[in-house]
Chain A
Amino acid sequence: MSTLIAPAREVVTAADRVAAARRRISIGETLGQTMMMAWRALKKMRRNPEQFFDVALQPILFTAMFAFIFGGAIAGDVQSYLPLMIPGILAQTVLTTCMATGTQLREDMEKGVFDRFKSLPIARIAPLAGPMVADLLRYTIAATLTFGMGLVMGYRPGGGAGGVLAAILLAIFTGWSLAWVFTWVGTIARSAQAVQGISMMILFPLTFLSNAFVPVETLPGWLAAFVRINPVSHLVTAARDLANRAVVSGEVAWTILACLIVMAIFAPLSVRSYKRHM
């Protein structure tokens, strides 16, 4: 510890440092810092693998459960319900996965290391966006398992491998964009429990008031109206078209548009309230 006074070291000069200091952060630096934060989040996931339990279990349990509970009532038999249901489960698992983003961010923000992140000359968005990049891995696992479980139960997607892959990619993109809503909740709520509560209140209407599990035609008018504008409905329809028929419908564009709007609103809001936390 006492070898700090190494003779070879040149002395720190404050005036030079002030002159050399950069005034703002470039886009390139922001991306690099975000990737470092993603690296950190991945390391954390690897050391706490229990984080993957919900991601892994939910698609498996839900697929089996929903198929047997609703399958008979809605589509007559399980086999014909699967093409309708699997894209719905896909949307739901991806959304549940992105809900965890907010809770984990909140827990993380209460740790000492966030104090250091705040004191470093780095982009304020990096500590928020980094974990979300790492979460792409979780979405991928959740989406793949959903389809895998569907295949096991006898689902034979008409869209082939290409259609399924496209549906998975779209679901991942949607999950990633909607995660900004939960990230924002993570930065405004007082505790991790509060984040959990608020996120549930956002998540349930989004998934259940969509066409994920029931055809819209069976719903009363006012409910059908909300279901039609819900971005999750667009995702579900787009994913059905892709996976079952390999058709890139206008719903894909609607989904992407809805996601971009959500991001444009909630990414700046999140950064703003993260800054206010200081």
Chain B
Amino acid sequence: MSITELGRTGGGPAPNGGTDLAVRAEGLMKTFGEHRAVDGIDLHVRPGEIFGVLGPNGAGKTTMLRMLATLLKIDAGRAEIFGVDVAGNPHVIRQLVGVTGQYASVDENLTARENLWLFSRLQGIAAPRARRIGTELLGQFGLEEAADKPVAQFSGGMRRRLDLAASLITRPPLIFLDEPTTGLDPRTRGQMWDTIRGLVTDGCTVLLTTQYLDEADQLADRVAVIDHGRKVAEGTPDELKTAVGNSTLQLQLAEPGEVPAAVEVVRRVLGSDPVISPERGRLNVALDQADLAADVLIALRTAGVSISSVSVAKPSLDEVFLALTGHETDEHDETGTEENR
């Protein structure tokens, strides 16, 4: 049985069978000084699903997650986790949620094993069991060899793994992952994906944030796209793609200078603008029906715009993002690959 198949079933029977949502947030708001980082977000996460929050740098993902995890005060709106009010019962919420932050939150001065021991004992797990859980988690996350080295000597990927392991000690029913694969190499990233899918099979609900569109596409059962502190769209990855058009015509112009002319032609034929892709001379045209592609190509030929390559594809979440927010996702205002501090 492949792990991938397991993960994609989206949890099967809801673990608690009840009507309670794992996360119910209404009108969540957070202001830092003048700046409104989260501006009225509603979120409904069902038990047993992987819910992805997708947004560029500064969108407010971390701020939203920190409010839900009781790490930041909720300025306005309300949030419930498994029916428990977040603002009113922070101590209960902390027992229900495992948090893996954007930056590894483990102790540099301790070894991996000591970290897990510390967090287990702090949560009231008896010594023999704490020792067993530590060994088990170190094994699951491939950290046995490094178990007794100080975390200060760990690579970024090892820290991330230890960080996730530390969030799983009490096997919380809800897990928050803030950009779980930022800064990981492709292989480690794939392993992390498998681990996350495995959590759901174990009965957990996962709320994760990401800037990687393919990650949301790969992992999430449902996705909310947020930008400037607001939710701009929500649905399954497929629904979001369909919302933009059933398919996309990807055009590579022979002459990048002819982009304005091509835009003009597309607008005349379809009545809507194409999306100009960050690559030079690339246009993505959303189509309601795939056969409209022929009309566009003929019109371009008639107008004398020459094309070096053409393809028709299902839109990627990249295009979804472009269409929904009107700007590209790779607008880095900070360094994209911030590692663990």
Contacts and interface: CB of A to CB of B under 8 A. Distances in A.
B119 interface: yes
Size class of the A contact interface (CB-based, 8 Å)? 35 or more
A113 B105 contact: yes
Contacts of A17: 82, 95-96, 172-173
Q: Is the interface of A mostly helix, strand, loop or mixed?
A: helix
A253 interface: no
Contact of A112 (B94, B103, B139): B103
B174 interface: yes
Interface stretch (A114-122, A139-147, A205-213): A114-122
A33 interface: yes
A2 B96 contact: no
Contacts of B20: 14-15
Contact of B109 (A3, A29, A33, A44): A44
Interface stretch (B24-32, B67-75, B217-225, B255-263): B67-75
Given A23-B89, A112-B105, A120-B94, A14 B110 contact: no
Contact of B198 (A2, A14, A24): A2
Contact of B140 (A1, A18, A37, A47): A1
B195 interface: yes
A25 B340 CA distance: 31
A29 B202 CA distance: 29
A13 B16 contact: yes
A121 B198 contact: no
B16 to A, nearest CB: 4
A113 B121 CA distance: 15
A264 to B, nearest CB: 24
B118 A121 contact: no
Contacts of B204: 12
A36 interface: yes
Contacts of B110: 40, 43-44
A32 interface: yes
Interface string A1-30: 111110001011111011001111100010
Given A14-B174, A44-B107, 5 more contacts: A3-B139, A13-B16, A13-B173, A14-B16, A17-B95
Interface of A: 1-5, 9, 11-15, 17-18, 21-25, 29, 32-33, 36-37, 39-40, 43-44, 47-48, 111-122, 126, 278
CB-based closest 3 A-B pairs? A11-B203, A4-B198, A12-B203
